[in-house]
Amino acid sequence: METIEKPKSAISASSVHKLCPADKSKTKTAQSYVLELAMRELGIYNNVTTAEMRHGIDNQTVAYEVAVLPKYSEAVWYDKFIAIDNRCGASPDVLIGDIPLDVKCPYTIPSFFENINNVSKAYIYQLQMQMLATKGKEAVLCVYCTKPKEYGVEWNEHHIELERRIKFIEFKADAAIQDEIMQQVDVWHPKKIELVDRLKNAEELSVERYFFDSEIGIKYNTLSESSNVFNINKIYKFERKFYYQLNK
């Protein structure tokens, strides 16, 4: 395993499912993800953090201590990027030898049961890509139910036994899914490189130009609104966002 600093625009295990739709003709989600990666390459990040995301971040190490270590004494908290190649990789929360373990902390009790009764495609593909990175043949998903904290409200944990709020789900390496992942990396990595180049060469709009164009009825949509970003003839940049002319 090669642990390195994560490249800015590496295809990640947590999002690789976006490149693998069941219907391969539907690529809008994949395009949106590749656009996001291309913008990261240019140092432009979409730093949106939800309450659900904060809950997961705040409680993943707690889950490691109270749930994972008692079951897997040899487990180590890892959370570092492991390159598969120069295009993609994974950052397992925990390693048990070469077995990756990922921690999920659902925000609500219903979402806890949704996670354990019907594991999402996103998590399945994430674990499969983690196995590609670690070269492991197994992976584990740890789902931990804990009460969210609310601002100004005294926090008390759910009065439910810990063992009932923890679920471990084991997975075996799936060659078909892993092949699909790498095939889609083959498809989308060159498109990302193409998009990075096009964004670098986008025409910069001044405030005056943007105002005047808007005044005479020229409408700019953000690039993410396009049904196919690769069919856009000309890309414009205004205040760290990218656009195309809707009227053309």
Q: In what order do the strands lie in the sheet with 88-90?
A: 2-3, 82-83, 88-90, 11-12
Number of domains comprising the chain: 2
Residues 109 and 67 placed together within one structural domain of the fold: yes
Query: For a pLDDT cut of 70, what percent of the chain falls above it?
Result: 98
Of the three residues 182, 213, 232, the one that is the final residue of a domain is 182
Whether 197 is covered by a domain: the verdict is no
Residues 242 and 132 placed together within one structural domain of the fold: no
Residues 144 and 219 placed together within one structural domain of the fold: no
Range 103-115 average pLDDT: 97
If one compares 74 and 46, the residue with the highest pLDDT of the two is 74
- pLDDT one-digit tens code per residue, 18-50: 999 988 878 999 999 999 999 999 999 887 789
Residues 178 and 117 placed together within one structural domain of the fold: yes
Asked whether the beta carbons of 248 and 233 are under 8 A apart, the reply is yes
Please give the backbone phi and psi of residue 61, each rounded to the nearest 5 degrees, phi first.
-75, -30
Residues 164 and 209 placed together within one structural domain of the fold: no
Residues 147 and 102 placed together within one structural domain of the fold: yes
Residues 239 and 144 placed together within one structural domain of the fold: no
Of the three residues 182, 214, 239, the one that is the final residue of a domain is 182
Strands (E) located in 36-165: 76-77, 82-83, 88-90, 94-96, 99-104, 138-144
Asked whether the beta carbons of 14 and 33 are under 8 A apart, the reply is no
Whether 190 is covered by a domain: the verdict is no
Residues 129 and 227 placed together within one structural domain of the fold: no
Range 2-31 average pLDDT: 89
Whether 232 is covered by a domain: the verdict is yes
pTM of the model: 0.92
Residues 171 and 237 placed together within one structural domain of the fold: no
Whether 56 is covered by a domain: the verdict is yes
Residues 228 and 178 placed together within one structural domain of the fold: no
Whether 189 is covered by a domain: the verdict is no
Query: For a pLDDT cut of 90, what percent of the chain falls above it?
Result: 88
- pLDDT one-digit tens code per residue, 77-101: 999 999 999 999 999 999 999 999 9
Confidence label for 54 from pLDDT (cuts 50, 70 and 90):
very high
- Cα 63–66–69 angle (5° rounding)? 95
Task: Output the pLDDT for position 49.
Answer: 83
Whether 198 is covered by a domain: the verdict is no
- pLDDT one-digit tens code per residue, 140-184: 999 999 999 888 888 899 999 999 999 999 999 999 999 999 999
Residues 214 and 140 placed together within one structural domain of the fold: no
Residues 6 and 35 placed together within one structural domain of the fold: yes
Whether 193 is covered by a domain: the verdict is no
The enclosing domain of 154 has a CATH number of 3.90.320.10
Look up the domain containing 211 and give its range. 203-248
Whether 233 is covered by a domain: the verdict is yes
